[in-house]
Amino acid sequence: MRSRERLIIPYRSKVVEPISLPSREERLKRIEVAGLNVFRLRSADVYIDLLTDSGTGAISASQLSRSMLGDESYAGSRSFEEMRQQIQETMGFPYTIPVHQGRAAEQVLNYVLIRRHSFVPGNTHFDTTKAHIELAEGRAIDCTIDAGRSSEGNYPFKGNVAVSKLEQVIEKYGARHIAYILMTITCNSGGGQPVSMQNIRDVRALASAHGLPLIFDAARFAENAYFIKLREPGYQDKPIIEIIHEMMSYADACTMSAKKDAIVPMGGFIACRDRELYERLKTPAIIFEGYFTYGGMSGGDMEMLAQGLREVVDETYLAYRIGQVRRFGELLQSFGVPIVEPIGGHAVFIDARRFFPNVPEDEFPAQLLCTELYKEGGVRAVEVGAVLIGRDPDTGENIRPALDLCRLTIPRRVYTFEHLEYVADVIRTVREEKGTQMKRGICFDQEAEGIRHFSSTFRYL
């Protein structure tokens, strides 16, 4: 089952950051004080931090040196032009508006494109994306293929949009009530699963037939391109940059969280092909973010972003990135840990209902597993399940998601495989000692309003 090809690591450490494992006694105290919610832990109390791959990547020597060249002029800075040109070269969009991070791009774009009660169908929308669509008084409609809703089955492109569902949505509401079609590449909420080129082409054809814009949420565009190269017939011998150019050629615009595939601590942008859209984006960009040649980013940040885009399309980098995540997942599988298949691009997801088969589903098994991993080994994972999904706005009832997952998110260029072997061993121990023995889960102690997973506290049942 484990792949045998050699992985080439295309970098070595030059600067390191110390980390340490608090004692077991200390860990038990910390998680108790944090109300069994790992978001409430201090990072200093965490040994291996797999909370997110967002803004947590290691910057390169070239990025650091480029940041020194930052032109901090308010308007028309050289660093903006550097970033704009690089985005055009990598993604093909001539117009760019910088923003401070991905959700800001969503806010600005939706302010312009969404009219009241318009719809945005797509593959599983990221949580901030859905929230921003709703804030602009639109509605997100999830049209992901059925295979993307199950943790089993090795379908290679579980992020795909079901074109038939999309057609039904357009038919039901009428094209004039659709603001745009959104494709998230790779699909985060659906398990870090890629979208195929064929699917992008099909969705483009449908969008064009109805005169609708197709927009990408491009946070992990390079990882998606690498999956296309690995898994889609006809792309094995194509350079990554050509695959990216083809992917992007089907989109009218994209939003980008540069904290992912541009490997920077902070930043983002909206890029588009159409001059008129660009002009319409400028005013909300200025109001919400900053003048449209900096939009909340410093000149140094824009230089780093440009350099990050050059580095992320390197095929050796992507082969190691995707390969490291895959090997980590395969190691867990060899220990019998139930994970989402196939293994995605930036994270491995444990199916917590199968990990703790005797814990009732409404007692938050994935949240419980996160606390157990911290207690056992100082590892911080994150719940993507019943806590995150929240309550139905109409009935007030807890929604029961199709999957209750514990996500182990791998930061870019940060941890060695030995770190991940340590994590795998921690998970194995929890499974052996508690997997079937655990009979009760946890409940809210204090449930936070709104986006509840960040600050709620829990207690044992």
Helix (H, G, I), strand (E, B) or coil at 255: strand
Query: Is 259 an interacting residue with respect to ligand PLP (CB under 6 A)?
Result: yes
- Using CB under 6 A as the binding rule, the residues of this chain from 124 to 143 that contact ligand PLP are 126, 128-129
- Residue 220, Cβ density class (10 Å: 0-12 exposed, 13-18 middle, ≥19 buried): buried
- Marked catalytic residue, from 14, 44, 74, 237: 74
Please indicate whether residue 210 is annotated as part of the active site: no
Give the nearer residue to ligand PLP in terms of CB position, either 271 or 359: 271
- Marked catalytic residue, from 39, 58, 71, 127: 127
Q: Which helix (H) or strand (E) holds 140?
A: strand 139-142
- Residue 106, Cβ density class (10 Å: 0-12 exposed, 13-18 middle, ≥19 buried): buried
- Using CB under 6 A as the binding rule, the residues of this chain from 88 to 127 that contact ligand PLP are 101-103, 126
Q: Is 230 left (phi over 0), alpha (psi -120 to 50) or beta?
A: alpha
What are φ and ψ of residue 101, in 5° steps? -165, 180
- Using CB under 6 A as the binding rule, the residues of this chain from 2 to 41 that contact ligand PLP are none
Q: How many CA atoms lie within 13 Å of 131's alpha carbon, on the beta-carbon side?
A: 12
Please indicate whether residue 49 is annotated as part of the active site: no
> Smallest distance from the beta carbon of 460 to ligand PLP, in angstroms?
31
Residue type, 36: L
Please indicate whether residue 453 is annotated as part of the active site: yes
Please indicate whether residue 74 is annotated as part of the active site: yes
Q: What track of x and - describes contact with ligand PLP for positions 140 through 169 (by CB under 6 A)? A: ------------------------------
Task: Name the residue with tokens 């260029």.
Answer: 413
Query: Is 184 an interacting residue with respect to ligand PLP (CB under 6 A)?
Result: yes
- Marked catalytic residue, from 126, 180, 328, 422: 126
- Marked catalytic residue, from 105, 251, 453, 458: 453
> Smallest distance from the beta carbon of 101 to ligand PLP, in angstroms?
3
Q: What track of x and - describes contact with ligand PLP for positions 208 through 227 (by CB under 6 A)? A: ---------x-x--------
> Smallest distance from the beta carbon of 357 to ligand PLP, in angstroms?
30
Distance CA 309, CA 288 (A): 25
Q: What track of x and - describes contact with ligand PLP for positions 265 through 294 (by CB under 6 A)? A: ---x--------------------------
Give the nearer residue to ligand PLP in terms of CB position, either 53 or 82: 53
Please indicate whether residue 260 is annotated as part of the active site: yes
Q: What track of x and - describes contact with ligand PLP for positions 381 through 400 (by CB under 6 A)? A: --------------------
Give the nearer residue to ligand PLP in terms of CB position, either 182 or 359: 182
Please indicate whether residue 219 is annotated as part of the active site: yes
> Smallest distance from the beta carbon of 223 to ligand PLP, in angstroms?
11
46: Cα separation from own chain's centroid: 21
Distance CA 405, CA 413 (A): 24
- Residue 50, Cβ density class (10 Å: 0-12 exposed, 13-18 middle, ≥19 buried): buried
Axis crossing angle, helix 240-249 with helix 197-209, rounded to the nearest 10 = 20
Q: What track of x and - describes contact with ligand PLP for positions 39 through 58 (by CB under 6 A)? A: ---------------x----
**Which position among 63, 67, 118, 188 is part of the footprint of ligand PLP (CB under 6 A)?**
188
Please indicate whether residue 100 is annotated as part of the active site: no
CA dihedral 13, 19, 20, 22 (to 10 degrees): -150
**Which position among 257, 324, 367, 456 is part of the footprint of ligand PLP (CB under 6 A)?**
257
**CB under 8 A, 24+ apart: contacts of 330-333:** 330/1, 330/2, 330/3, 331/2, 331/420, 331/421, 331/424, 332/424, 332/427, 333/1
Contact 369, 355 (CB under 8 A): yes
> Smallest distance from the beta carbon of 104 to ligand PLP, in angstroms?
7
Task: Name the residue with tokens 């791009």.
Answer: 105
By the criterion CB under 6 A, which residues form the site for ligand PLP? 54, 101-103, 126, 128-129, 184, 188, 217, 219, 257, 259-260, 268
As annotated, the active-site residues are 74, 126-127, 217, 219, 260, 453
